[in-house]
Each structure stands twice: as C-alpha cells, then as structure tokens.
Amino acid sequence: NAGVTQTPKFQVLKTGQSMTLQCAQDMNHEYMSWYRQDPGMGLRLIHYSVGAGITDQGEVPNGYNVSRSTTEDFPLRLLSAAPSQTSVYFCASSRFGTGINYGYTFGSGTRLTVV
C-alpha cells in the first residue's frame, strides 16, 4: 500500500542538464498530475493526465514534458534545466467521480535545485 511514490527525493542539476522525475501510484487512479511548489506561489499545475496515453498542459508547462504509457506511471522530464526550475515538485493522483471526502493523494515531493 505505497500510494504515490516519487523519486528521487533530492536532486541537484547543472544548467542545461536533463533529467526525469519519476512518479508511480498503485491505487489504479485514472487521473495523475504534476505540480510545482514555490514560496508564495502555492501549487501550480505543470501537466496532467486523465488516463494512459492522454496528457495535457497545465498552468506552467514550458520546459517540461510528460508521457503516460501505463496507468501507474507518470514521469516528468526536464528537457534543459534552468535555475528558474528550482522548486519542489509534487505528483498527485485521484480517481474520477469520487465522493466529496476522497481527494488527491500526493507524493512526498522531489526537491530540485538547478545551479
């Protein structure tokens, strides 16, 4: 009963490097999403997916790519890291049409620093 697992927990990148943040859920949730959290900015949606093979852009998609080949996995790729992408990244998942008391399940986050 792992819930949403994010790896790595911490990462330091040099400007221009690429990397993939991993997200996996074992709850058979259809909906998955990536947020970034910055001080004073709250949680901003990067990309989301409503099922395998279907992805769409959120509020701040530039510089990030996603794919959803399986229900369980939703990796986030940074194409060419920039200091502005220094942030804490959260993956979240949810069922569709849920009751009012069933919300998102968030991972524990990836703290990324780009130098």
Residue 103 interacts with other proteins (CB under 8 A): yes or no:
yes
Which pair of structure tokens corresponds to residue 23?
A: 């997200």
Query: Which of 61, 65, 80, 89 lies closest to 14 in space, CA to CA?
Result: 80
- CB of 87 within 8 A of CB of 78? no
Interface with other proteins, residue 1, by CB under 8 A: no
> Residue 34, interface with other proteins (CB under 8 A)?
no
Q: Does the protein bind other proteins through residue 55 (CB under 8 A)?
A: no
> Do 31 and 96 form a contact (C-beta atoms < 8 A)?
yes
Q: Does 46 bind other proteins (CB under 8 A)?
A: no
Among 11, 31, 61, 77, binds other proteins (CB under 8 A): 31
Residue 101 DSSP one-character state:
T
101 binds other proteins (CB under 8 A): yes
Does residue number 53 form part of the binding site for other proteins (CB under 8 A)?
no
User: Which H or E element spans position 23?
Assistant: strand 19-25
Q: State the nearest-atom distance from the C-beta of 54 to other proteins, in Å.
A: 10
| β pairing state of 54-57 and 105-106 | unpaired
Binding site for other proteins (CB under 8 A): 4, 31, 33, 35, 40-45, 48, 50, 58, 90, 92, 94-96, 98, 100-104, 106-109
